[in-house]
Amino acid sequence: MAPWALLSPGVLVRTGHTVLTWGITLVLFLHDTGEPDPARPRTYPIPPLRQWEEQGELLLPLTFLLLVLGSLLLYLAVSLMDPGYVNVLPQPQEEAKEEQTAMVPQAIPLRRCRFCMVLQPLRARHCRECRRCVRRYDHHCPWMENCVGERNHPLFVAYLALQLVVLLWGLYLAWSGLRFFQPWGLWLRSSGLLLATFLLLSLFSLVAGLLLASHLYLVASNTTTWEFISSHRIAYLRQRPGNPFDRGLTRNLAHFFCGWPSGSWETLWAEEEEEERDGSSQAV
């Protein structure tokens, strides 16, 4: 590996996320707060994680550590995995799938990407950061330094949910360790790091909560961030009154998380088009 590859944006972002995650965890475990009194050294508050550990109650600290580790592993999985790249040189199975797609009645014609020149499946989009076309493209996440697409979108939602649980728990732990006293200069020196951690966790919790809520809404309606924002610019959505891929809440969730019922997006689009044509003819 070339030395400069270690300074690539992906390596720097993932390293920064890992260091920040364990740094905040160490603060929550090790930071003492309150006004120290030499005559009564253990009467001032200490963080709940330290209290549980000193009292021999290891279940909750271990659970918290496992959740932190799980969220970090999910982050790395989403960040490093193939989000669903369209192969530049199609394999025999993909060639057969493209031929089948082209034969779907009333299906929208496939378009060729003007950047990498591959034949794009329906709902795919070219990512300029990754320089690849991604199936069921949702967005390019700078915090992941990777696209969120057909293959890693379910894991991305699971990561957001687990990360939000860890952040809210960490927020509670940080707030529980804050005890205000005077003089404020002494309090700030003893609790400034924990206060900064609390503010950082508050910001991250807000962002993670908003992201999770928005993605659950998109999953429930079987749409993507790109389609939701740019429906007026997308050929297969521009002239449609609704979402041609929406099959109801239950089937949308089952397809997103379990891959059931299976089927190409082109087939669903064609079925919706056929239903609209039948409805129009009956109305006439």
The residues carrying an active-site annotation are: 141
Give yes or no for a cis peptide into 261 (omega within 30° of 0): yes
Name 224's Cβ contacts closer than 8 Å, sequence gap at least 6: 123, 136, 137, 138, 139, 218
DSSP 203: H
| Residue count of the chain | 284
Spatial distance between the Cα atoms of 242 and 259, rounded to a whole number of angstroms: 23
Spatial distance between the Cα atoms of 73 and 57, rounded to a whole number of angstroms: 26
Contact 127, 225 (CB under 8 A): no
Contact 44, 32 (CB under 8 A): yes
Spatial distance between the Cα atoms of 216 and 156, rounded to a whole number of angstroms: 11
Distance (Å) of CA 130 to CA 28, 139, 150, 221: 36, 11, 15, 27
Name 188's Cβ contacts closer than 8 Å, sequence gap at least 6: 195
Name 219's Cβ contacts closer than 8 Å, sequence gap at least 6: 157, 252, 253, 256
